[in-house]
Every structure is written in structure tokens, then in C-alpha cells.
Chains A and B, each alone.
Chain A
Amino acid sequence: MENTDLIVLWGSNAREAHPIMFHRMLTGKRNGAEMIVVDPRHTSSAAFADLWLGLDVGSDIALANAVGREIIAQDLHNKEFIANATEGFDEYAASVDRYTLDYAEEITGVPAEGIAELARTYAKAPSAILCWTLGITEHHTAVENVFSLINLALLCGHVGRYGSGLCPLRGQNNVQGGGDMGALPNRLPGFQSVEDPAIRSRFESVWGAPVPPKSGWHLAQMFEAMESGDLRCLYVIGENPADSEANAAHARHLLTGLDHLVVQDIRLTSTAKLADVVLPAAASFAETTGTVTNSERRVQLVRAALEPPGQAKDDLAIVSGVASEMGTDWGEVTAEELWDELRTLSPMHTGMSYERLEANSGLRWPCGGEDDNGSLFLHGRLWDRPVSGARAAFTFAEWRPPVDELTEEYPIRLTTGRRLDSFNTGVQSGAYESPIRNREALDINEADAQKLGIADGEIVRVSSRRGSLETPVRIAPSVHEGLAFLTFHFADQVDTNLLVPDDWDPMSGTSEFKAAAIRIEKI
């Protein structure tokens, strides 16, 4: 970040959601990098940008395709890289051909000249990093949105080099590590496929137990299975779906209808209040020992500073205790012993002993052995000639509008996100008093407020096709006419997820939190 020539933040408000990463970006800017922000809102990140493209919510694919087309039309693509390291360029070029600047302007609301400038700047930059967060992935076309950005990096060779790359900024301190450890329905630890018999048998020989041979359900499929009655019992660890799921009323209805709900958490969350059994857990970052993995794949040690309160126990002790009740005695397993077992099964973690993690302030995977200091960036192999391993594929995606359609009845687009001092459903951040925290309010543009005869601070009724709530309004220049913004940090005050559609991306299972259609009414 500090030594690149261009930072593109696409669907990311890092200034508030990743503040210390944003420090690095500003150091990069001071060292000469340009910054371009692509976001429907003029966010606090956009305030630092050289160029801000305020696209309409959910038009990312159209914008990316037009940027790709313009790069090719201006002959700015990296032909050497494309020829030697990629596949599918010709099909991609033919497919994006109809995404002209004018066509994209019509879909995205971004002036053609702005799109062309993004294309020129990105293609001409000697190095460029393209970052995104949930502004890209909380859509019904989540994975296709990501592919459309990857295509741009492949066009320009902005991947696998120092200062050039694709950088999804992770939203939680161990969301990367959770996936790495196999907390995914189709993966064993180390991103190894659960449907590969050879891999399964390695795990089975160490674990001494059979591994189910088929991928499981992801979160969205679990809720569908609750609805169909195929899922009757749920064990929730460190998640608060009663507040965090889209179409919250429906999600709560399904959770309430389960035969048995077990919740393991550090606090009595909204979900825990629905549970038959609550298992009080220790706070991992301050009351347990273990590892977490950040956005840059850096595995770091967390260490216990405090005793857990009351009856709370380390997650590891709770899960071992449950296993023991089920008749399997795992003994007193320490986090380090478990980690060392993981290192024998996950090749990308093999070189990461606790001792080395301690000595190196963490290590980035892949880290294959005790003499491997981890990997600063991935995909460097694409610059080997001939390229080593598979070529990187262009994956064209056609733009499709958000599912929740804007109509006369629901004319305003609601998008959701974070504010600086708060976090997700507030389980953690709700416990401290912040001098910069105001009551949650619906950000709307002054023109919309005038049309509706609403004053700043006034309580209004907001309705979507799924639900309705009351909230104060804040007139905010960060949102354009027809756009509104809420967070879901304060469900007790403004239950935002009541409004949000649960139409999910078939590839990732993520709901379209970023695009609800709403109506605002004066009370």
C-alpha cells in the first residue's frame, strides 16, 4: 500500500471500516500514489480520493465491464501478460464490447468521462492495488462482481507483483482464519476439498473418524433448510444471526421454530435469548490462547490477559466437553497442540509453529516449512515464463440489477454499512460509550427530505417489501438523491435488517444487504 502507484477502493469505506489499513493507504498517497474511490456514497474515504465515482448501487459489473472495454479500446491492456499468463481474453473482449461508456453511464449513473479516467489511470499505473469489501460481496451477484474486478487486474497485469494486487479487506479479525480452518461447508482446513477422497483419508487417519464425504450447507442454505424442515437443530458459535441476517423477521421466525437451538457466545445476544441452551464462552482475543488470521493472510497469536468471567470457558474446552458428553474423550487439549495437529494436515500452515509466530509477529500463508518466512503476496507465479501452473482465467459476467426493484411504491435505494466506532450487531462495540456515536439515523439527501417535507432529526417510517420500522433521519450530503443509508449496529433502536432482502448469491450464499428498495413516510 505504501509503495504502489494507485489505490482503488471499490465498495470499501476503509477510513471507517479498516482505519489502520487506511493509514497505510494515506502513507501511500503521501508517497505519490493516486487514490480512486468507487462507492455510491461520498464516504469519509472518498473525501481523501483524487477521483470518486459515485455509481448507483448494484451497477458494479456494468462499470467494471465498461472499464475493461475502454482499456482494450484504448489499447492500454498488457498484451504480454495476457498472452503468457491468462486465458479467455478474446471471449472476454467480445463480451464486454457492448459495455460502451455511454451504455455504462446509463446503468451506473457515472459520467462517461469518469469511467474513461478510471480505465486510463488503472491501465497506465506502473503498479496498482484494487481493494474491495462488502460493497462488492453483499449482492446477489457477489462472486460475479469479484470476477469482474479480477478481469481488470488480469487485463493490466496488476496482480502478483510487489505493489500490484487484488485485495479483499476482511471485515472481522478472524474471518480469514475461520475459512482457512475449514469453517466452510465444502472445505477441510487449508482450503482442501471435502469431496476429494485422498484428502479426506489423510484427515480421517489423523482424526480417527470418518469425514462426511459431501459438502454441507452454507448459511443461506441452512435457513432454507429450516424453512423446509430439513434442519431442526442448530448449534451457533460466536454468531448473532437473529440480528445479522437479512430479512430479520423471517430469520427470527425460523430460529424460533427450531426443535433445539444451542448458542455459544460471550454475551447473551439476541440469538442467545432464543436458545434452549446457552454456553457462555470466553472472549477469544483477551481470555484465551490461539491464533487469528488477518486480511493479509498473517497468522498471529492471541494471548490470554484475563480470566474468563463467571462460568465462561474457552471455546476449545466447551467443544471438547460437548464431545465428551457424546462419548468421545479428547482429553485436555491445548490450543497449541491442536494447532500443531493442524500443521500436519494443512500444507499452507506447516511452517508456522507458535515459536515462529511469536518471533516473527505472525507469518503469512503459504508457509510450507520451518525455513519459510511466508509469502508477501500471492500469484507471483503468473510472472514466471513460461507461467507455472494454471493460467488465470478471464470470467465475464453480465450485469443484472439488484433483486429488490425500485418502483413507485418503493422508490428509494437503501444501502447498509458500518460507522467508525461500531461493529456489526454491537455485541462487542455496544459495551463502550463512544463520544462520536449518535443515535442511529437514516442518512438521506436534502432533496429527498424536502420532497417528503422531512426535517433533519425527524422520526419517519421506513418500509420495504419485508418489513417496516421507525427511525430518525439525518440529512447527509454523502448520499445522493434517491439513496439512503443505515447501519445494523443498533437493532434495539433501528432494526435495519428487517428491511433488507435475503435474496442470495447462488455461488457465495451472501444476501443482498447492500440493495433494498424502501419507501420513506412522514409520520
Chain B
Amino acid sequence: MTATIKINGEECSVSEGTTLLSACREQGIDIPTICNAENLSPVNTCRVCVVEMEGSRTLVPSCSRQAAEGMVIATHSDRVRRSRRMVLELLASSVDLSRSEADLLGWIDEYEADSSRHSSGDNLDPPATVAQPVKLQDSLYVRDYSRCVLCYKCVQACGEEAQNTFAISVADRGFAATISTEFDTALPDSACVYCGNCIGVCPTGALIFTTEFELREAGEWNEEQQKVTRTVCPYCGVGCNLELRTQDETIVRVTSPSDHEVSHGHLCIKGRFGTGFVKTEPDTES
């Protein structure tokens, strides 16, 4: 079944039930979003992807609203642009977004989001998530929740959307909300199995590889010198695809393409963290 909808004055035919976000992207229209991912179902937390829909009093989130016959959508009206800019400014004023995905940094520029307009100064305590020190609790993960916008993607990936481990969830409400393990225990003592699928979906750089964190802290993280190579995981027979990000002949981050039929953007601990053996000199190690 297809539905005919009008996007920015242009009629187009989309399959019924597809989200407005997918429909717009199919038409080549770029809509910013933080909490949406191809391999997760929509949770409507960030409100960056809103569009204007005729007959609707409020703006609607395009990531979850399904296309239906006769819908009339405006994706870049003044009202939409103002809303997106405001949301980006509020988020950027509350947490440090400087290590975000390139898309998000690009949208902050494009929407001229100026976080200083909402700077709280010294009058307010920062949100609970920002007040936490960087968590360095093991050899693989760094969790810097002062960069967390509480988009829930990591919770989804840890839970029933992928890993089904349920090691993390959102604790508390509002300004007190944080992403937390059970009883806020250290990660190595939690249910975590270190698949790193939370890192894979984190849009703001709050969750990163230790290798990446150390290079960034040393000022040696250099994306211009990096290349990304797609290959197949060297471990079991499932055939997950890996994207090896290398710098100076070293693997500095491993991700998985979310559009791949086998792995859908997800990996296990071996695929994500166990590829370092390639750098071990074959004549010195056993």
C-alpha cells in the first residue's frame, strides 16, 4: 500500500507506514536527529527531527510519525527551524557536544545554534549527568556522561533492541536523570558483557573506546589522517561486518555498518575490541 503525501509542496508517493523521516530522506531532504538510528526503533526523546504537519497543533516528530494518505508536511518552515535551533541550543548549553558525530556538529552550524544564549552561568547546578566525573573503570570503555544528552540509544542497544543484557537504564527523572548501571555499580561489576553496542550508537561521544579517549586526551586524535575500511570479523561464522578506523597503522575504533543485513550495526566484545592482535609482532608473541 502506498500513500500520497505532500512534502514542502511536492507530492510524492511513499509506502504506507513508513516514517516521515524515512519518506523525507528518500526525497533527499536532510532532517536532523539525535536519538534516531537506523537500527533502533524511535523513542522520541530529542525532538530535533520535528516537522510541521497541516492540521496538527504541535510540531510532530518525523522519526516516529508514520506517513498516511493526504498528509501535508513542511520540513524547513520558520517554525520548524526555530524549534530545531532552540532544541540544539538547549542541549549544547547543558552538555559538551564537541565530540559529537559529524552530522550533529554540522546541524549545530547549519541551524546557527548558539548555546551561549541559554548559558546558565553560575546560578544553577548543572544537570546530574553533567556533574559526574569521567568513568574510567576498565580497559575498554570510557563513559563521560558530561557529554550525555540522555537520548536513550545506549539503553535501547543494551536492552531488547539488540544485546538484551539490560545492564544500563535511565535512573531518576528530569535534571536528576542519568544513565546508570543497576545500583550505580561500576561497569565491570554490572551485568555488562562489553559488546560496546552502546558505544556504537552514542551520538555525542559520551561513550567511546579507551583507545580513542587516550588519543584525544593526548591531542593525537586526527580524523584527517584516519581511514575507514570495511571488512568481515575474524572470529565466529556469523559474518558480521566491521568498519576498522585506522590511524598510523593502528586500529583506533571499530564500528559496524548499520545497513548490513547480518550485523545491523551491532557486534560482540570480540569483534569490537578483539582485533588488536594484528598489531602484535608475529615473532615476539605467543
Contact = CB atoms under 8 A, between A and B. Distances in A.
Contacts of A309: 278-282
Contacts of B266: 20, 23
B39 to A, nearest CB: 10
Contacts of B164: 23, 26, 48
A357 to B, nearest CB: 11
Interface stretch (A115-123, A285-293, A493-501): A285-293
B235 interface: yes
Interface in A414-458: 420-423, 427-436
Q: Which size class do A's interface residues fall under?
A: 35 or more
A266 B251 contact: no
9 contacts: A19-B236, A173-B234, A175-B237, A294-B232, A429-B277, A430-B277, A431-B274, A434-B139, A434-B274
B194 A435 contact: yes
A267 B277 contact: yes
A186 interface: no
A404 B273 CA distance: 38
Interface stretch (A299-307, A331-339, A405-413): A299-307
B232 A292 contact: yes
Interface string A154-192: 000000000000000111110110000000000000000
A435 B187 contact: yes
Interface stretch (B18-26, B53-61, B81-89, B238-246): B238-246
B241 A306 contact: no
Nearest to B278: A283
Contact of B277 (A23, A284, A427): A427
A420 B239 contact: no
A312 interface: yes
A373 B230 CA distance: 21
Q: Which of A18, A26, A293, A434 has the most CB of B within 10 A?
A: A434
Contacts of B268: 19-20, 420
B62 interface: no
A295 B238 CA distance: 6
Contacts, number: 195
A41 interface: no
A273 interface: yes
Interface stretch (B92-100, B173-181, B255-263): B255-263
Chain B interface mostly helix, strand, loop or mixed?
loop
B241 A268 contact: no
Contacts of A285: 231-234, 242, 275
A265 interface: yes
Contacts of B227: 305
Contacts of B237: 18, 169-173, 175-176, 294-295
A3 B201 CA distance: 25
B240 A434 contact: no
Interface in B148-191: 160, 162-164, 187-188
A400 interface: no
B269 interface: yes
Contact of A423 (B270, B278, B283, B284): B270
B285 A268 contact: yes
A288 to B, nearest CB: 10
Nearest to B275: A286
Nearest to A431: B277
B210 to A, nearest CB: 10
B264 interface: yes
A78 interface: no
